[in-house]
Amino acid sequence: MTKKSKSWEKRLGCEPDESAVDFVESISYDRRLYKYDIAGSIAHAKMLSEQKLISKAEYNKIVEGLLAIEQEITNGRFKFDKSQEDIHMAIEAALIKKIGQAGKKLHTGRSRNDQVATDMRLWMRDEIEILQAKITHLQKAFVGTAGKYTEDVMSSYTHLQRAQPIVIAAYLLSFVEQLERDFVRLGNCSKLLNVSVLGSGAVAGSTLPIDRKSTAGQLGFTDISRNSIDAVSDRDFCAEFIFDCALVATHLSKLAEDWIIFSSTEFDFIRIKSSFCTSSSMMPQKRNPDMLELIRSKTGSVYGSLVALLTLLKALPSGYNRDLQEDKIHVFSAADTVKQSLDMACAIVSNTKFNIDKIKAGLDKGFLDATALAEYLVSKGIAFRQAHGIVGELVADCEKNNKTLTQLSIKQFKKRCPAVEQDVYEHLGASNAVKRYVTVGSAGSKQAKIQINYWQKLLAER
Ligand code: ARG
């Protein structure tokens, strides 16, 4: 070895300027790929020995060296040096230092371009499993909490105005549905990305007899990519991954917003356990939902990662470009943020109680039974559009006289609509309305229990 540490310094005839070393490095953030980089290298070395491109003895030395390096990194004993640029060069340099000549053969038929794309795919497969486990955890928390509120009625909202009555469980279960789609979406992302690009080299493949199927099989990929130019520049899976994370964050932000509103004195629908609230440095009475506010705000940073990556990819020329190095910054940031938010959301959902007495006391307000009354009129043979108008007039009557629909006399009903009979009172009031939901997927008690059953079975298998 000459004094110059990297082989390409021979071509350039000098060492890089210190500012260039600082600017170009990615080792400060791609070091977290080390396990995947080593797994990829071991598979590559095995294939090289199968293809007689290296000897069995050289292969054994390489594996031994790589495993020792893995141990050193795991134990925090490895010295990272930013002049090595990235984790790939750092590991290769350490290997050469450790085992000498055989280490210099590891990069045969390989480029960092197919290497880093392989590492990212391997990392993401595992990361998706972690995210899915956290999603499942949160779903279970929602189902558990829903189980406590299958009979308790609250208002649903559209336009943040009171809409129709629902059981609290149905509201909680609506989040389980959103999270389920996130789970499936991430699973789809994992399936689509599970293709081996190793052996694509820098951009055009190799003149050496690289057995791509061997490395793909060893690394658990289900297929190999068809086109080397596409393979080294494809980051679709990264964009898709961040998008999936962004939707998880979107769903969590909806929960956060709901519960910030619900925990206000004006609503007073929920009480978050004090250990998950903060107070004010000045106003002594405060119990603030800061965890939820931060879940809401972090959604913005995940969207930022998505836009950053898409912008990075936009109009890149074909083949590998160094811009692609920074994909990791955005992918890692999105994953880390969403993992944190999922954990916190799970803790909050498990540590929040609904103030059912307070909620119940307010059910008379907002004419939650108006739609049920219109449907009652339909059952008496009136066309829905007409029924809608009649109930609208009745509500206006009530509003003028500061009454609820339940408080109207049968005479007052008949004045607006002769078809109304005594049985109307069985349809009025929020809890009567909830009891009458019959449609599959309605927000009533019966349907919520069916859903809880469904989720309990499904989630228990995960
Ligand atoms: N650190 C680089 C990255 O993450 C590795 C690939 C570098 N390739 C190159 N041709 N300079 O993208």
Dihedral sign from CA coordinates of 412, 420, 383, 403: positive
Give pTM, 2 decimals: 0.96
CA distance between the termini of the chain: 53
State residue 283's pLDDT score.
87
CB atoms within 10 A of CB 74: 11
Residue whose CA is at the smallest distance from ligand 1 atom 3: 325
Residue whose CA is at the smallest distance from ligand 1 atom 5: 112
Residue whose CA is at the smallest distance from ligand 1 atom 12: 325
Q: Is the pLDDT of residue 30 over 80?
A: yes
pLDDT tens-place string over residues 144-187? 999 999 999 999 999 999 999 999 999 999 999 999 999 999 99
- Could you tell me the pLDDT band of residue 2, with boundaries at 50, 70 and 90? very low
Nearest alpha-carbon partner for 273 in 133, 145, 149: 145
pLDDT tens-place string over residues 336-352? 999 999 999 999 999 99
State residue 4's pLDDT score.
64
Residue 200 CB partners (closer than 8 Å, separation 6+):
111, 113, 114, 117, 225, 228, 231, 232
State residue 8's pLDDT score.
79
Give the whole-angstrom CA distance, residue 128 versus residue 357.
41
| Cβ-contact 212, 224 below 8 angstroms | yes
Q: Is the pLDDT of residue 3 over 60?
A: no
State residue 270's pLDDT score.
98
Which of 25, 92, 322, 328 has most ligand 1 atoms within 8 Å of CB, for mutation? Answer: 322
| Cβ-contact 118, 40 below 8 angstroms | yes
Give the whole-angstrom CA distance, residue 155 versus residue 161.
9
pLDDT tens-place string over residues 73-122? 999 999 999 999 999 999 999 999 999 999 999 999 999 999 999 999 99
Q: Is the pLDDT of residue 233 over 60?
A: yes
pLDDT tens-place string over residues 246-277? 999 999 999 999 999 999 999 999 999 999 99
pLDDT tens-place string over residues 184-217? 999 999 999 999 999 999 999 999 999 999 999 9
Which of 325, 328, 332 has most ligand 1 atoms within 8 Å of CB, for mutation? Answer: 325
Q: Is the pLDDT of residue 295 over 50?
A: yes
Q: Is the pLDDT of residue 421 over 90?
A: yes
- Could you tell me the pLDDT band of residue 6, with boundaries at 50, 70 and 90? confident
Give the whole-angstrom CA distance, residue 143 versus residue 171.
11
* Cα of 328 from ligand 1 centre, angstroms: 11
Q: Is the pLDDT of residue 223 over 90?
A: yes
Annotation marks residue 159 as catalytic = yes
CB atoms within 10 A of CB 136: 18
Give the whole-angstrom CA distance, residue 169 versus residue 156.
12
As a whole number, mean pLDDT of residues 417-431 equals 97
| Cβ-contact 382, 413 below 8 angstroms | no
State residue 417's pLDDT score.
97
State residue 10's pLDDT score.
85
| Cβ-contact 329, 286 below 8 angstroms | no
Dihedral sign from CA coordinates of 72, 74, 75, 77: positive
Annotation marks residue 279 as catalytic = no
State the closest ligand 1 atom to the C-alpha of 112, by its place in the atom list counted from 1. 6
Give the whole-angstrom CA distance, residue 15 versus residue 3.
10
Q: Is the pLDDT of residue 5 over 80?
A: no
Q: Which of 159, 275, 281, 409 is catalytic?
A: 159
Give the whole-angstrom CA distance, residue 342 versus residue 339.
5
Strands 195-196 and 223-224: parallel
* Cα of 340 from ligand 1 centre, angstroms: 29
Nearest alpha-carbon partner for 317 in 435, 188, 229: 229
State residue 280's pLDDT score.
86
* Cα of 112 from ligand 1 centre, angstroms: 6
Residue whose CA is at the smallest distance from ligand 1 atom 10: 113
Residues in the ligand 1 pocket, defined by CB under 6 Å: 26, 30, 86, 112-113, 116, 320, 322, 324-325
